[in-house]
Amino acid sequence: RHWFLLRNQRCTGAYLYDRLLRIRALRWDYGSVLPSALRLHMSAEEMDWFNGYKKSLLPLAGDQGLDITQDMKPPKSLCIKVRCLKDYGEFEVEDGASVLLKKHSQHFLPRWKCKQLIRQGILEHVLS
């Protein structure tokens, strides 16, 4: 009977560790803000761990505010073509100009400026 308890304890530990690795991967995939659909499936303790992990990455960014999760693979171009899926409103690009993001409109924007909007489902990357 004792062996079964130890086996169950090991299985539970392996499950929790795998869940922890998946939550850590979410930080690298989605950035510092998780979609609400994912947050609904996480416990309060998991959200606390996620927020603690997010805070532990801040010193790596330094004083410049560098986002270390951006462009994990080298981009082929600095600008990408995107299509707006929802009405968003004014969006300021790096040169100070504003672009009006309306549903079904297409724009050629800097990759780093629209990456978060793509993750949030406001924009989609047009590949062709």
CATH code of residue 38: 1.20.58.1030
* pTM exceeds 0.75 for this model: no
Q: For residue 112, what are the domain limits?
A: 79-125
* Cα dist from 122 to 21, 104, 114, 115, whole Å: 27, 11, 9, 10
Q: What distance in Å separates the CA atoms of residue 32 and residue 34, rounded to the nearest whole number?
A: 7
Closest CA to 107 of 97, 22, 65, 16: 97
Shared domain check, 18 and 55 = yes
> Angle at which helices 44-56 and 2-30 pack, to 10 degrees?
50
- pLDDT for position 70: 67
- pLDDT for position 66: 66
Shared domain check, 48 and 89 = no
31, part of any domain: yes
What does the pLDDT look like over 74-126, one tens digit per residue? 777 788 999 999 898 888 887 778 888 999 999 998 888 888 888 888 999 99
Q: Note the maximum CA span of the chain.
A: 70
What does the pLDDT look like over 15-48, one tens digit per residue? 999 999 999 999 888 878 888 889 999 999 999 9
